[in-house]
Amino acid sequence: MNTPRTPLVVVGDALLDHDLCGRADRLAPDAPVPVVHGTRRSSRPGGAALAACLAASDGRPVTLVTALGADPASDTLRELLSGRVTLVEVPLEGALSSKTRVLAGDRPLLRLDDGDGRARETTGPAVAAVTGAEGVLVADYGRGTADVLRAALTTAAAEAPVVWDPHVRGRAPVPGVRLATPSAQEARAFARRLEDGRDSDEQAGLRTAARDARTLVQGWRARAVAVTLGERGALLSHGETPLLVPTPAAAAAGDPCGAGDRFAATAAALLADGALTEAAVQEAVHAATRYVAEGGARALAVREQADAPEHLPADGDTTADAVRTAARVRAAGGTLVAAGGCFDLLHAGHVALLQAARRAGDCLIVCVNSDDSVRRRKGGGRPLVPVADRVRVLRALECVDAVAVFDDDTPERLLGELRPHIWAKGGDYARTRLPEQPLVESWGGQVLLLPYLDGRSTTGLARRAARSPAPATEPGR
């Protein structure tokens, strides 16, 4: 009998991260340094542990293989991981590394690092977890866990998709990884090693990233390399002409701490599910962008305190995910925008409206009428497209962060759950008061009208599509 494979295994160096957040509105009298007061301290998993928690937050079983010891930081991290991931430990020599950021508002002022522990050796359960995985993410932070499991990772790369998120203090990925995900700075450093330290006067940019990615694909014998470019997205290379995957329109600025882990965790999970590399990288860029907009690593504590996330299907009802997304955006201080409609036969007018709505805030949730709700509003011949397909098309738009389905005649009950800061509607409502307007204003929200593109409507498209096509003209006439 075959042993069942573990869906996703994260291998790498776990860290313990702390944030000390306060206000800084004056300088110290004895030195030109800011005085931070009113501080709040929070702790969270870091490094490979953060990557594992982010992957698990998508509703999938995750096993984390990492080095932990008998020190207080290791004990704290075990508590933070309990109930979230399956933990397989290898011995740690020394104390677990921990990082403390001191922030004034959203601006980091200082980081304190403690602990220099390294993985000492592998174990049988760790090897079995790696070689029995359907997909592997290596979150290498240069502290030895990937090194002691290198033989097992080489075996895994020949059997299953392996995503390798490298660190300049670590070694190169094992041959055959499906995708390596260095940042632009990491790609430059690794490429210089392969080029014997040669460098050029060329400024860092897309050309440099493309050249470095090509060098790493060949030198690492990786199937693909995606160089992450921060706010610009990612550059995917299989060794030839690269593919630029930009961030969604109006990507919000925020705390980028952990965005690389979010990118790699999303890509690894999708590749383990059988997705193509291009599709996995595109969704990973979107996921990392949403992660930053929703507060980054500091929003993880809010997510951890909520109920365990449900597994969300690729299509269909995604309302629970939309409600959780709304809560995270509000908790992180972002501006939540919602827009609603039937969105039957999605056309350019719809897209323009949604793009404008997304630019009005940090996150856009689209509220969609269910099939029954559309029939009550539009008649028995509608919708032309079932709700599962309408949701799938909307979720594919770069400007849409989440989709929620409602069955009532109006979205008021759903809006009460989402509590958006802005409720966006098309400009054809300009001379009427929307029934949901008092509700939105009751929590301090705002109704915002956006212009429609003239001449675009689902009814018009349906009528033109129903007309008989003109007879074809015979050749020679």
Beta strands in 141-276 (DSSP E): 162-165, 179-180, 225-228, 234-237, 243-245
261 is catalytic: yes
Q: Is the peptide bond before 383 cis (omega within 30 degrees of 0)?
A: yes
Instruction: Give the active site residue among 19, 261, 362, 371.
Output: 261
- Phi, psi angle pair for 60, to nearest 5°: -125, 150
CA-closest candidate to residue 63, choices 75, 77, 73, 49 = 49
- Which alpha helices (DSSP H) does 253-347 contain, by range? 259-272, 277-293, 300-305, 319-331
Q: Which is it for the CA torsion 382, 385, 389, 390, positive or negative?
A: negative
Contact call for residues 19 and 46 (beta carbons, < 8 A): no
Contact call for residues 156 and 131 (beta carbons, < 8 A): yes
Residue 246, exposed/middle/buried by CB under 10 A (0-12, 13-18, 19+)?
A: middle
* Distance from C-alpha of 398 to C-alpha of 319, rounded to nearest angstrom: 18
* Distance from C-alpha of 363 to C-alpha of 294, rounded to nearest angstrom: 8
Neighbouring CB atoms inside 10 A of 268's CB total 31
User: C-alpha angle with apex 82: 330 to 311, nearest 5 degrees?
Assistant: 55
Q: Would strands 98-104 and 14-23 be described as parallel, antiparallel, or unpaired?
A: parallel
Beta strands in 126-252 (DSSP E): 136-139, 162-165, 179-180, 225-228, 234-237, 243-245
Residue type, 24: A
DSSP per position, 365-399? EEEEE-HHHHHHHH-TT--SS-HHHHHHHHHTSTT
- The residues annotated with a catalytic role in the active site are 261
